A = this chain, B = another copy of it.
Amino acid sequence: MRRIHFLLIAVAMLAGGIICVVPASGQADKSAAPVYLDKMPKGFRDWQLISVAHEAGNLNSLGAMLGNDVAMKAYREKTLPYPDGTIIAALHYSHLPNAENNAVFGKAQSYTPGPPSNYQFMVKDSKKYAATGGWGFGSFTPDGKPFAVAQMKSCAPCHAKASRDGVFTTYAP
């Protein structure tokens, strides 16, 4: 069961362009390295939209990527690398068929968010997070508990493979 969770969450996380292979639940590791966030950024649900994403696979996921003001300005002005203070949030939800929409449309084709799976963040601070390309990472349960540090070690090496300063998500106009 634990292995299943591991795989499913890995899928869900790529959906939002923030890639961390972690189990479905976890507790904060007291030996947390500074590269990992221990609190969710305040007010992130009110941020503006960068883009959306869908990850197929065993556990389909729908994601919304939001950015704080620094992130949105950088995205819109195509600033690379992202300036310090950039925060990108990836809100992941289960990808569920929507019975009401399907009934109206007469086809089983509408998928909308179920309960949130996790909230993830990338924070740019070129000094603090110099060892990981200037990015700090955080993965949280829907009620705001951080995943264990050992379970977020895949974030930085995966993001290092992204061609735009470690960021997979591009701006949806």
Taking Cβ atoms with an 8 Å cutoff, the residues of A that contact B are: 10-11, 14-15, 17, 19, 45-49, 51-57, 62-64, 66, 91, 93, 95, 98, 100-101, 104-105, 107, 109-113, 115-116, 142, 158, 161-163, 168-170, 172-173
Which B residues are in CB contact (< 8 Å) with A104? 14, 19, 158, 161-162, 168
Contact between A64 and B46 (Cβ–Cβ < 8 Å)? Answer: no
11 extra interchain contacts, Cβ-Cβ under 8 A, other than A55-B110, A113-B172?
A: A14-B105, A46-B48, A51-B112, A54-B111, A56-B111, A57-B107, A98-B168, A100-B162, A104-B158, A104-B162, A115-B173
Which B residues are in CB contact (< 8 Å) with A172? 64, 91, 93, 113, 116
Known: A100-B162, A110-B14. A142 touches B173 (CB 8 A): yes
Contact between B52 and A64 (Cβ–Cβ < 8 Å)? Answer: yes
Which DSSP category, helix, strand, loop or mixed, fits chain A's interface?
Answer: mixed
Known: A49-B64, A105-B14, A113-B51. A168 touches B56 (CB 8 A): no
Whole-angstrom distance between the alpha carbons of A162 and B45 in the complex? 26
Known: A116-B172, A172-B116. A109 touches B55 (CB 8 A): yes
Which listed residue, B19, B57, B105, B113, touches A52 by the CB 8 Å rule?
B113
Which B residues are in CB contact (< 8 Å) with A173? 45, 115-116, 142
Which B residues are in CB contact (< 8 Å) with A63? 52
Contact between A53 and B110 (Cβ–Cβ < 8 Å)? Answer: yes
Which B residues are in CB contact (< 8 Å) with A19? 104-105
